[in-house]
Amino acid sequence: MCRMGDVLAGNHAVWEFDSDSVLIRFARGIRTPRTPRLLHALGARRIPFEALSGVTVNATGSGGKRDAVVLHAVPRTGADPLMEAAAGQLRAVCDPYRLVLPGDRSAQAAEFADAVRARLGPDAAEPAERFLVQVPQPPLQLKAYDARLGFDGSAVTFHWSRTGATSTKWKAGDQRYPLSALTGVEWSSPEGPGGHLRLLRRDATGDPRPDHDLAAAVFGVGYGAVHESLPFAAAVLAALRSRTPVASVPAARTDERLHHLSELYSAGLLTDAEYATLRDRFAAEA
């Protein structure tokens, strides 16, 4: 059975079993494929067991050396603002709850999954009453095709681009929307047609065309990438739900994180550069 501090290192992340959560650090693990930019941007996430509804283990392949096993934690509906904002639009490789391991690690993956299942609460199958997973901290900035967006924790601002914005937006001037005027956020992935971020207003219905809606920003090639726009949308959504400072879930203690990071480095699961980068990041977040 897994114990506190036990880890699994996969393609793009290292999962650590803790007393009340799974700590996921997104970095290159035992293989060397390029880490998706969204996972790299997330850095590390602590997922409380109470935020999960289940966990699965599935083998892929047909018995060859390149076989893999996929460990997939399933967040409860309403527990993670990032996944709520994504609304099922993320590609599998960018799913922060998915860990791909070599096929010969299936026993360890199954043991890890069993340990997580044993910690799930009686309400695991029910939607969460509040967000339970930490999101990025404001102030945040986002560059879309037709605007620069800012979020300071209390309001979202749109500064229109002279070259990208339609005449409708440019003539209306820059916009500011306090959280009290909003009911939600609509994120449409830039990897599909019509990518945009739209604020849902409490007392108005915007133009269905994002390029004419004064509470929407349009994405494009090089603008509003997933790793930039999705965390931004999640932060706004979390603040809307709580109407309090965005960080409602405490971060891991810096000394604890550095200790575990040192253990991973000593075990050969992180390169010199990865260790130095994560060590400096954790110290800066203290």
Distance CA 184, CA 200 (A): 5
**Residue tagged 């002279």 (tokens):** 162
Residue 195 makes CB contacts below 8 A (sequence gap 6+) with 188, 189, 218, 219, 220, 224
Distance CA 99, CA 26 (A): 10
- As a whole number, mean pLDDT of residues 263-285 equals 65
pLDDT higher than 60, residue 218 = yes
pLDDT tens track for 71-125 = 999 999 999 999 999 999 999 999 999 999 999 999 999 999 999 999 998 999 9
pLDDT of residue 251: 43
pLDDT tens track for 219-251 = 999 999 999 999 999 999 999 998 744 443 344
Closest C-alpha among 81, 177, 73 to residue 130: 81
pLDDT of residue 64: 53
pLDDT higher than 80, residue 193 = yes
pLDDT higher than 80, residue 57 = yes
Give one word for 275, left, alpha or beta, with left for phi > 0 and alpha for psi -120 to 50.
Answer: alpha
pLDDT of residue 256: 62
For the chain, the first-to-last Cα distance in angstroms comes to 32
pLDDT higher than 50, residue 144 = yes
Task: Please state, rounded to an integer, the average pLDDT across all residues of the chain.
Answer: 87
Q: Which residues pair with 184 in a beta bridge?
A: 200
> Per-residue b/e over 185-210, b at no fewer than 16 CB within 10 Å?
bbbbbbeeeebbbbbebeeeebeeeb
pLDDT of residue 95: 97
**What number of other Cβ atoms are within 10 A of residue 121's Cβ?**
14
Q: What share of the chain is helix, strand, coil (3-state, %, to 5)?
A: 30, 25, 40
CA 247 from centre of chain: 14
pLDDT higher than 80, residue 273 = no
